[in-house]
Chain A
Amino acid sequence: MALHAFPLQDVLLEHQRYNETRDLDQWQDNDAHLQRVARSFNQLSTEKLGAEYSPDPLEVLNVERETLPYLLILSARVTLAFKKSKSSFPENLRPGNTLWLQAVAVLTHGDPIEARYGEDCWRTLAKAVAQGAVTASTETHPPSASISVVAAAILRMDPSGGTLTTSHLDLVRACLLTHSYAQARPVLDCEVHSFPSPSSVNNELPLSAKHHTSNTYIAVRNKLTEPLTLTDILEYYLCGAMIYIGLDQWARALDSLDFVLCTPSGSQNTAHELMLEAYKKWVLTSLLAHGRPIPLPQTAGGAPMRTVRALAKEYEAVAEAFRGTDGKKLEAEAYEAQEEFRNAGNEGLVRNVVARHRQLAISKLANTYAVVPFSMVAKLLSISDSDAAQYVQRLVQEGLLQASIEQAEGQSVLRFGEKQGQESEQQLKAELLRQTKRIKELSRYIAEADRRLGLSRDYVEHVSRQRKQKTATQDVPDQEEAMDMSFGGAASEEDEESVMADVS
């Protein structure tokens, strides 16, 4: 290697040598070495690190094996490029240009363990790429390509994708702005199992160690993420839901919105603004996902939901009209509040709801009838026979209605059939197994979260308070029971909520 000009040549050489004999199981040694490398780089100013050298170290370094130096140098150059270009997006970083290509290379092929020592470099690069997708996409480099890179970078740093980071947020924002919804799915589909919290006590396992969950190395103190605020978290889920809505994935969108609604509330009936927005979408999406109004998730707090519901009457009116069989009434409700729907950006959802109601009216016939004449369908929708035929034909073709159109007794008839394309038993079994696996994984995450909660200061205080009470009352809850009681609060809210659900 000939890097005479580069000030840290010896560090690079040492790193190269080290890499040749590296053993992943010797993580204590690895940790010490990588920390040393990072320290040496940090002593150099950004200007020096990001300056032009000949030969170019980035040309010489192997992205996959010498990720840490590569990442640090590249990140310094990107920072300098932003400084130079001031307000506009740096030319070099536009999709297809050098810096962009280098960023893509390291984000998709870099060694994730070395990258952990790069502090905020990884996410800065990911963010730059996301920005590039929004501001500087071209026809040859569509936003979707850049966004796929961001998603891949998140998953490379954290294969579970489950510790929420600022990069997650950058990703969903960029997706929404560029309408490239599908590219967010690899990350969005991941179960978020923990949040980086400033107050959480993480065990001080070295970064290069084998971590049980990504939550122990992705932490604010390692600068692998910024601290998130409540608004950030709600925004991530809301944007996620909007992406799913864009993809017509109603059930997943509903899952995402559920989270926002279930946000714990400190004081009685306080709700976040984003909870209101989420609730509006939740009402409409639940109709699309389930074909009927459903009760609020049990985990949602009763009092905050009351606050939110009071402000979303138009949506509940639509849901109520959807429950009935009268399509005209639903359309009237949709028309009545169209301004609100447009302002809240829910116009498209409402249109979908109206269309779904018509379609459901016909699908519901299948619960009672085996064969019906078209005249009946037309009467049901109050349209002409030929329109009905056309409409039904479209539904059948799009696979929204399991039925076939036949001629019988001199008229066109609709025969509701067995569900077409039904999964075979093997497929069902496979789906069940997948689901079981997901549930098991979730239980593991919950146990993990429970442990974290058990280590939090509030909980320790709670237990010590209980201890004091114990000596006073002799009513002895041991530690395990005390653990359960910490969930008791949530349960009582649930009860309240189920009452609410009945009312609705």
Chain B
Amino acid sequence: MSDKLELQRPLQASAIQVTELPKLDLDSYIANYDGQSRLDRLVCIATSSQLPVSKEALRLALAEAKKGKDVDRYLEISQYAVDNDKDASTDVEWATKTRELVNRETQKLEHELKGYKNNLIKESIRMGNEDLGHHYYSIGDNNNAYKAYMRMREFCTTPKHLVDMSLRLVLVGAAQENWMAVQTSLYKIQALQLKPEDKAKIDPVINPIAGLANMASGNYPTAADRFLNADPAYIALDTTQKPSAGVGSGLGISFQRQLITPNDVAVYGALCALATLNREELQRRILDNADFRTFLELEPHLRRVVAYFIGGKYTQALEILEGYRADYLFDVFLQKHVDPLYATIRRKAICAYVAPFSRLSLSSMATAFPVFSPSESRIPPTTKTIPATDTLTDGSIQTELVSLISSGQLSGFRIDAVHGELVALAKDDRRLTHEKALKVASETERALRLKLYRVNMMAAGFEVKAGKASMGEGQGSGIATRSNRGRGGADTGTMI
């Protein structure tokens, strides 16, 4: 029996470890989520720190896992709990019992499906596969779940069926973190011709999920675009109704609870937008956008951040963001993206901050952009940095500025390393244009000249031929002898 309980992949502590106390209240936070998402989020919090909140999350996760049928998952979590806490223990009896139950269930469903296949009734086969998919999904076997749902395709008879199937694929894809598959499924749903009642239910779901998929793949600009176009109907939309209840019925999945809550839309959307849009776009697409503001009201501090950012109060904006860093690091989807997003926002803020100045001191910049947390120093410099001097106390801001300037993001500025100042360059666009024109012209000239040469050589019948006066074809020693003529021209006009 012991081999039965062996772990495939033991749960490991997350690479990102939070040391600061988060603002979130675990109970009310986790109450927003259901199903696998709830468990995933608990596990994420549990493995991301040694704080009391993680211990609590671990306890909740164990209880949550026991409610389900995913035995492997339970064993992983309990193993992690045992490793980290002497008092914890694994409920082997429950695990064995549930596993038997699950196996019986699997066999039963497979058997049923076989029966349906023999009867060749399309609808039955579709539902058989769907049931099997649900079952696999509930026991955490996402691969088989995905396969089962995929098998439904050829038995779908209405667009609605296709939608149901695709949405299931989205959910499983997200659980597998296979974001390409998620996006493909979403595209397929959008391409379908649907009844208006159905469309009204499905459309609001698309943008938040597409945003999530893009963000998780690191494609922040598209993610921002998707989130900002989210329909506020998503907040109140009830899609939990059984899909089989006929025309206009629900989707059977509550994405707001099982994947991404309206609060998440606000957080992810605001962060991606801050990192990728300029101030004018932020104003237009966030503050002047009634739709997204509805989401943003759920996370009022982010509305303040955006407002501060647009108003040029970068210090305050960054301060608030830093305050929520720990919270965001506990988010299962956001965790990996907090640092790059924060770094981009900070860089953008610095560039926007210095733009109007012709000269400003580095110490004032260091005050305006204090280095908040140790993780800030983990940001890899974008390009090779020139070693900073130790003559300056605020070396860190200087290093940051050096990397900004050399990566071209702050190209109009130079550092005065002696007086500790950032100096704007006088720009001469006219001259730059002239110089560019000259450069292009000389490149053209070079290309033309070489073409001319080649044409001439061809026309005159000159080309390198394999043989004595050449090399190649693997003949390393076949180096040619130069023509016998002396270099001084000592010969009087002999022909070759």
Chain A residues engaging chain B, CB cutoff 8 angstroms: 82, 120, 123-124, 127, 130-131, 134-135, 166, 169-170, 173-174, 176-177, 191-197, 199-200, 226-227, 229-233, 235, 255, 258-259, 262-276, 297-299, 304, 307, 311, 325, 364-373, 375-376, 379-380, 408-409, 411, 413, 416, 418, 425, 428-429, 431-432, 435-436, 438-439, 442-443, 445-446, 449-450, 452-453, 456, 458, 490
**In the complex the two chains form, is A432's CB within 8 Å of B441's CB?**
yes
Contacts of B452 in A (CB 8 A): 191, 193, 442, 445-446, 449
Question: Knowing A127-B493, A130-B489 touch, does A271 contact B464 (C-beta < 8 A)?
Answer: yes
Contacts of A325 in B (CB 8 A): 384, 386
Pairs across A and B, CB under 8 Å, 19 listed: A127-B492, A134-B488, A177-B488, A191-B449, A194-B456, A197-B461, A258-B450, A266-B465, A266-B466, A268-B472, A298-B450, A367-B406, A368-B386, A376-B391, A376-B417, A432-B437, A438-B445, A450-B455, A458-B461
Cα distance A233–B456 when bound, in Å? 11
Question: Knowing A264-B464, A273-B471, A439-B444 touch, does A416 contact B458 (C-beta < 8 A)?
Answer: no
Question: Knowing A259-B453, A432-B438 touch, does A230 contact B462 (C-beta < 8 A)?
Answer: yes
Across the A-B interface, the 10 shortest Cβ-Cβ residue pairs: A197-B460, A370-B414, A273-B480, A270-B472, A299-B450, A266-B463, A453-B459, A371-B416, A307-B472, A435-B441
**In the complex the two chains form, is B489's CB within 8 Å of A174's CB?**
yes
Partner of B470, one of A273, A366, A376, A436: A273
**In the complex the two chains form, is A411's CB within 8 Å of B418's CB?**
yes
**In the complex the two chains form, is A449's CB within 8 Å of B414's CB?**
no
Cα distance A259–B449 when bound, in Å? 9
Contacts of B298 in A (CB 8 A): none
Is B446 among interface residues, defined by CB-CB distance under 8 A? yes
**In the complex the two chains form, is B471's CB within 8 Å of A368's CB?**
no
Is B469 among interface residues, defined by CB-CB distance under 8 A? yes
Cα distance A166–B466 when bound, in Å? 25
B423 to chain A, nearest CB (A): 5
**In the complex the two chains form, is B453's CB within 8 Å of A272's CB?**
no
**In the complex the two chains form, is A369's CB within 8 Å of B471's CB?**
no
Is B111 among interface residues, defined by CB-CB distance under 8 A? no
Question: Knowing A272-B480, A416-B414 touch, does A299 contact B454 (C-beta < 8 A)?
Answer: yes
Cα distance A450–B456 when bound, in Å? 8
B463 to chain A, nearest CB (A): 4
**In the complex the two chains form, is A446's CB within 8 Å of B455's CB?**
yes
Chain B residues engaging chain A, CB cutoff 8 angstroms: 384, 386-387, 389, 391, 402, 405-406, 414-419, 421, 423, 426, 430-431, 434-435, 437-438, 441-442, 444-466, 469-473, 476, 479-483, 487-490, 492-493, 495-496
**In the complex the two chains form, is A372's CB within 8 Å of B418's CB?**
yes
Contacts of B437 in A (CB 8 A): 432
**In the complex the two chains form, is B464's CB within 8 Å of A304's CB?**
yes
A233-B457, A365-B386 given; 14 more Cβ-contact pairs under 8 Å: A82-B492, A194-B460, A195-B462, A229-B483, A231-B482, A262-B450, A264-B457, A271-B471, A275-B464, A299-B447, A367-B405, A425-B431, A438-B445, A449-B456
Contacts of A276 in B (CB 8 A): 471, 479
By beta carbon, the residue of chain B nearest A164 is B456
**In the complex the two chains form, is A408's CB within 8 Å of B419's CB?**
yes
A115 to chain B, nearest CB (A): 16
**In the complex the two chains form, is A131's CB within 8 Å of B464's CB?**
no
**In the complex the two chains form, is B460's CB within 8 Å of A195's CB?**
yes
**In the complex the two chains form, is A131's CB within 8 Å of B471's CB?**
no
**In the complex the two chains form, is B464's CB within 8 Å of A439's CB?**
no
Cα distance A205–B471 when bound, in Å? 41
Contacts of B461 in A (CB 8 A): 197, 199, 456, 458
**In the complex the two chains form, is B448's CB within 8 Å of A368's CB?**
no
Partner of A227, one of B453, B470, B496: B496
Contacts of A193 in B (CB 8 A): 452, 456
Cα distance A445–B451 when bound, in Å? 11
Contacts of B423 in A (CB 8 A): 370
The winner among B419, B457, B470 for most chain A CB atoms within 10 A is B470
**In the complex the two chains form, is A490's CB within 8 Å of B454's CB?**
yes
By beta carbon, the residue of chain A nearest B442 is A435
Contacts of B402 in A (CB 8 A): 368
By beta carbon, the residue of chain A nearest B467 is A270
Question: Knowing A193-B452, A449-B452 touch, does A267 contact B466 (C-beta < 8 A)?
Answer: yes
Contacts of B462 in A (CB 8 A): 195, 197, 230, 233, 263-264
Partner of A235, one of B416, B453, B482: B482
Contacts of B471 in A (CB 8 A): 270-273, 276, 307, 311
Cα distance A285–B292 when bound, in Å? 58
By beta carbon, the residue of chain A nearest B404 is A368
Partner of B391, one of A265, A274, A375: A375
The winner among B387, B419, B458, B469 for most chain A CB atoms within 10 A is B458
Question: Knowing A131-B488, A231-B482, A438-B445 touch, does A372 contact B464 (C-beta < 8 A)?
Answer: no
The winner among A166, A230, A438, A453 for most chain B CB atoms within 10 A is A230
By beta carbon, the residue of chain A nearest B462 is A230
Contacts of A176 in B (CB 8 A): 487
B468 to chain A, nearest CB (A): 10
Partner of B418, one of A124, A229, A409: A409
Contacts of A271 in B (CB 8 A): 464, 470-472
Contacts of A364 in B (CB 8 A): 386
Cα distance A235–B469 when bound, in Å? 13
Cα distance A233–B458 when bound, in Å? 13
Cα distance A192–B495 when bound, in Å? 22
Contacts of B434 in A (CB 8 A): 425, 428-429, 432
**In the complex the two chains form, is B479's CB within 8 Å of A273's CB?**
yes
Cα distance A173–B491 when bound, in Å? 12
The winner among B406, B479, B482 for most chain A CB atoms within 10 A is B482
Partner of A373, one of B414, B417, B465, B495: B417
**In the complex the two chains form, is B441's CB within 8 Å of A272's CB?**
no
Cα distance A429–B450 when bound, in Å? 25
Question: Knowing A226-B495, A409-B419 touch, does A262 contact B464 (C-beta < 8 A)?
Answer: no
A151 to chain B, nearest CB (A): 14
Contacts of B414 in A (CB 8 A): 366-370, 416
**In the complex the two chains form, is B450's CB within 8 Å of A439's CB?**
no
Cα distance A408–B459 when bound, in Å? 65
A482 to chain B, nearest CB (A): 15
By beta carbon, the residue of chain B nearest A424 is B431
Contacts of B447 in A (CB 8 A): 297-299
Partner of A173, one of B384, B451, B487, B495: B487
**In the complex the two chains form, is B405's CB within 8 Å of A230's CB?**
no
**In the complex the two chains form, is B464's CB within 8 Å of A263's CB?**
yes
The winner among B455, B456, B462 for most chain A CB atoms within 10 A is B456
Contacts of A130 in B (CB 8 A): 489
Cα distance A170–B448 when bound, in Å? 27
Cα distance A408–B420 when bound, in Å? 12
